[in-house]
Chains A and B, each alone.
Chain A
Amino acid sequence: MRRRRAGALAPYFLVLPGGLWLAIFFVVPTAVMLSVSLQTGNVVDGFTQTFDFGVYADAITTYETQFIRSLIFGLIATVTTILLAYPMAYWIAFHAGRNKSNYLFGVLLPFFVSFVIRTVSWKFLLADDGILLGNLKDAGLLPADFHVLATSFAVVAGLTYNFFPFMLLPIYVALERIDPRLLEAADDLYANRRGVLTRVVLPLSMPGVFAGFLLTFVPATSDFVNAYVLGGTNTTMIGNIIQTTYLTNADYPLASAVSFILMAVLLIGIFVYARLLGTRDVLEMSTR
């Protein structure tokens, strides 16, 4: 009897370490953050718990532009990475032969360099008088006032570049797992190349695209490094707002409220996205 009960509990022991980790480092800070967002006060006089929900309304009205901009930037960057990464993953999975791992390594190589250093190098490369634009301007190919930095393009391009492997790897794994006999079966059943791609390869790789979307869209939307390094005053993202409000202005309640809203928006967005795509299918296929 005793032994059976211990046996039944065994699976929970497996969950325990991870569960504790999440409880301590995610649930507790989230609760604290929620609590802080409902406090009033300042750094000098201290904060008191007032349960003033007005701060959420303030946050939305004040930073509406940045919220929307972040979602748009995140979405554009994510869609662009899908468009860039999918064909590449497809090629590596189906046509790279035995050099698959070499190509994958090649794609990942730049990402061994620190995120910040990579972004700063972009700034160096794309500077108004940098090695790229400067030379083109000297050659008279570009007008003297042409610039890339401090534009939305620069920020989105940076996001696209920095999150590329998070899209490529899950798509690659999904494509790699497709049984080549399914492609032969489609071919045998009169599907032309396009038919094989749209009716078999694409649906079967959706779990990878779904995972890549999550792994790219969430951090890209809340990113602040790209907007900070490559952007200007008109490209501020919500991540920058949180950073400034928290570290510079020390307005902890407002910073917490903005973070909370961002989290809620992303969760709702993902939920809707999963619904549209059909989570059941995605999960079923990934456990095939």
Chain B
Amino acid sequence: MTATGHTATGHTATGHTATGHTATGDAATGAPPAIELAGVAKDYHSRGRAVPAVSRIDLAIGPGEFFSLLGPSGCGKSTTLRMIAGFEEPTRGRILLQGRDVTAVPPNRRDVNLVFQSYALFPHLDVAGNVAFGLRRRGVKGRELRERVGTMLDLVELSELAERRPRELSGGQQQRVALARALVNRPAALLLDEPLGALDLKLRQTMQIQLKAIQREVGITFIYVTHDQGEALTMSDRIAVMNRGRVEQLASPREIYERPRTRFVAGFIGTSNLLRRTVRAVDAAGPGGRAMVVLDAGADERLSAPLHPQMGPLRTGDQVELTVRPEKIEMSATRPDGPCCALRGRIVEVVYLGTYTTYTVATHGGTEITVFWQNSTDSTNVAERGEEIWLSWLPEHSYVLPESADEEPSTPRSGGPDPGGPPEGDAPRRNGEPAAGAAAQTPTATAAHPVSP
């Protein structure tokens, strides 16, 4: 045991570059990630039984990144955030802040600040007093204190209300005070726990844009927890979609939306059509060198889709699910030509929604498919209820997923695809060691600096 540990430490130098690679794009420059979670798990104890709230998370969040943890309530996203803030101690794993292990560091000595869902403003202090709270605790006083508080209040447009008490402010104003109170400390990372949850829709949309603008201006890493997919898609550089204490997919908003890796992600983000079919053939060298899967379909019909890059090989006869977004589907009266997917169907429901109309189409297999049809120029419906029509879409707009991926979730590799990497069990050590190595290297680097003229 000791010997293994010793050998692992010996590899720190190579390990450092390895984390840089598995982390974010920014980390490729060699700077440590702003925040790194290595094999972090949290169990709660209920009636003598350990209930996992967070099963195992490996994450690396780059400096200046707007990172979202997205998932339904109870998926472990808030617990993860509270562990980063220091309010919960992980049962297993380590949390690194700018390369330094802070797993055992209490919140008041962690260089991160949290914006609470309920804002948690101090009712006995005015706006300026709330914003100055953290600075005062760190011994900032006098002119510097006034200037920093003033600048921050300007940034969130609250200078006029500096002497108001929180209870005299609207929800949106309170939210901005909470943001200013955390940001003024210039933390290594700002943690936001559903900060817009209590606001009405219009204000929420305005605040989303403001938040993103503020983040760009201050350049601080934001870790944003939300159950609102729209919010996550609007603001984030990257999103980790969480379910049942695990990360299901970690990617850019576009990637998450266009190429959901699991059935859960496909269903949780936007609307997805899922068609359960049997594999008829697998063409290893499809267009663009990607494997194409041909699925069972009726006469004249055609169903094929690229295999998801992270899915294992498929064989003829396997049960899979094809997913396609409603806005990617075309409807026509006759069978379209070309290499597209084509299915016959009968319209069972038409709902006009202003900018677009949703059609529910029953295929011959019995599956219902939703189609969003943009109401661009012609205001009349392209088809009526009961009509027989053809559905078609380009194969690259759809993906084949393993069947019922959410019932037996495969262990997600949140660090991104890494086919050559060691097996899952080695990950925490691999991710953990470099940080220790980085910490060990830092003194050498700083010591070397003053010596050189």
**Complex alpha-carbon distance, A200 and B124, angstroms:** 8
A 252-288 to B, binary, CB cutoff 8 A, 1 in contact else 0 = 0000000000000000000000000000010011001
B186 within 8 Å of A by Cβ? Answer: no
A178 vs chain B, min Cβ distance (A): 10
**Complex alpha-carbon distance, A273 and B222, angstroms:** 47
Task: Give every chain B residue within 8 A of A112 (Cβ-Cβ).
Answer: none
Task: Give every chain B residue within 8 A of A187 (Cβ-Cβ).
Answer: 86-87, 106-108
B47 within 8 Å of A by Cβ? Answer: no
Are B167's CB and A189's CB within 8 A?
no
**Complex alpha-carbon distance, A187 and B86, angstroms:** 10
Are A284's CB and B137's CB within 8 A?
no
B205 within 8 Å of A by Cβ? Answer: no
Take A188-B85, A189-B181, A190-B134 as given contacts and tell me if A204 and B124 are in contact as well, using a CB distance cutoff of 8 Å: yes
B133 within 8 Å of A by Cβ? Answer: yes
Are B138's CB and A190's CB within 8 A?
yes
Cβ < 8 Å to A, chain B residues 102-159: 106-109, 112-114, 116, 118, 120-124, 133-134, 137-138
Cβ < 8 Å to B, chain A residues 167-211: 179, 181-182, 184-192, 195, 199-200, 203-204
Task: Give every chain B residue within 8 A of A184 (Cβ-Cβ).
Answer: 87, 107, 114, 116, 120
B 65-91 to A, binary, CB cutoff 8 A, 1 in contact else 0 = 000000000000000000001110000
B185 within 8 Å of A by Cβ? Answer: yes
B165 within 8 Å of A by Cβ? Answer: yes
Cβ < 8 Å to B, chain A residues 90-147: none
Are B137's CB and A181's CB within 8 A?
no
Are B133's CB and A285's CB within 8 A?
no
A268 vs chain B, min Cβ distance (A): 27
Are A189's CB and B87's CB within 8 A?
no
Take A284-B165, A288-B167 as given contacts and tell me if A189 and B185 are in contact as well, using a CB distance cutoff of 8 Å: yes
**Complex alpha-carbon distance, A186 and B86, angstroms:** 13
Contact partner of B137 among A179, A189, A204, A288, CB < 8 A? A189
**Complex alpha-carbon distance, A200 and B122, angstroms:** 7
Task: Give every chain A residue within 8 A of B108 (Cβ-Cβ).
Answer: 187-192, 195
Interface residue tally for chain B (C-beta within 8 Å)? 26
Are B123's CB and A189's CB within 8 A?
no
**Complex alpha-carbon distance, A195 and B133, angstroms:** 10
Task: Give every chain B residue within 8 A of A288 (Cβ-Cβ).
Answer: 123, 167
**Complex alpha-carbon distance, A261 and B312, angstroms:** 92
Are A181's CB and B106's CB within 8 A?
no
Are B138's CB and A185's CB within 8 A?
no
Take A181-B116, A184-B107, A284-B165 as given contacts and tell me if A203 and B137 are in contact as well, using a CB distance cutoff of 8 Å: no
Task: Give every chain B residue within 8 A of A182 (Cβ-Cβ).
Answer: 120, 122
B 436-450 to A, binary, CB cutoff 8 A, 1 in contact else 0 = 000000000000000
Task: Give every chain A residue within 8 A of B112 (Cβ-Cβ).
Answer: 188
Contact partner of A188 among B107, B124, B165, B167, CB < 8 A? B107
Take A188-B113, A189-B113, A191-B108 as given contacts and tell me if A285 and B123 are in contact as well, using a CB distance cutoff of 8 Å: yes
Task: Give every chain B residue within 8 A of A192 (Cβ-Cβ).
Answer: 108, 137
A207 vs chain B, min Cβ distance (A): 10
Chain B contacts to A: CB under 8 angstroms: 85-87, 106-109, 112-114, 116, 118, 120-124, 133-134, 137-138, 165, 167, 181-182, 185
30 CB < 8 A contacts A-B: A179-B118, A179-B120, A181-B120, A184-B116, A185-B114, A185-B120, A185-B122, A186-B122, A187-B86, A187-B106, A187-B107, A188-B107, A188-B113, A188-B114, A188-B182, A189-B133, A189-B185, A190-B108, A190-B134, A190-B138, A191-B108, A191-B133, A191-B137, A192-B108, A199-B133, A199-B137, A203-B124, A281-B124, A288-B123, A288-B167
